[in-house]
Amino acid sequence: MPAAPSPAVAAATQTFTPLTAPRPRATGGQIAIAVITSILVVLFAITTLMAAGIYSLKSKDLTETQEELSTVQQELQEAQEAAK
């Protein structure tokens, strides 16, 4: 005859929860935290995309400005050589 487990062992063993067991419903606070977190994630994504767009526009403007500067420098050199 097998010995019955002691109460300490019985308390330490996990009980099997079937998948069909009803799960506890989320509280209002948990739902609020989930909603706030979702909103913050969306705002972070939007600001990141905006920052990336602004950065790409600035780099495009910088490239155009550098091209214009090199053109003006060439014209200045040609004008100086023509003036000699």
In tens, the pLDDT along 33-42 reads 999 999 999 9
Distance CA 27, CA 29 (A): 5
Q: Sorting pLDDT into bands at 50, 70 and 90, what band is 52?
A: confident
Q: What is the pLDDT of residue 5?
A: 60
Residue 47, Ramachandran bin (φ over 0: left; ψ between -120 and 50: alpha; else beta): alpha
| C-alpha span between 60 and 53 (Å, rounded) | 11
pTM (whole model) above 0.85:
no
Q: Is 2 left (phi over 0), alpha (psi -120 to 50) or beta?
A: beta
Task: Kindly list the domain boundaries of the chain, sorted by start residue.
Answer: 28-83
Q: How far is CA 10 from CA 6, 13, 15, 17, 57, in A?
A: 6, 5, 9, 16, 67
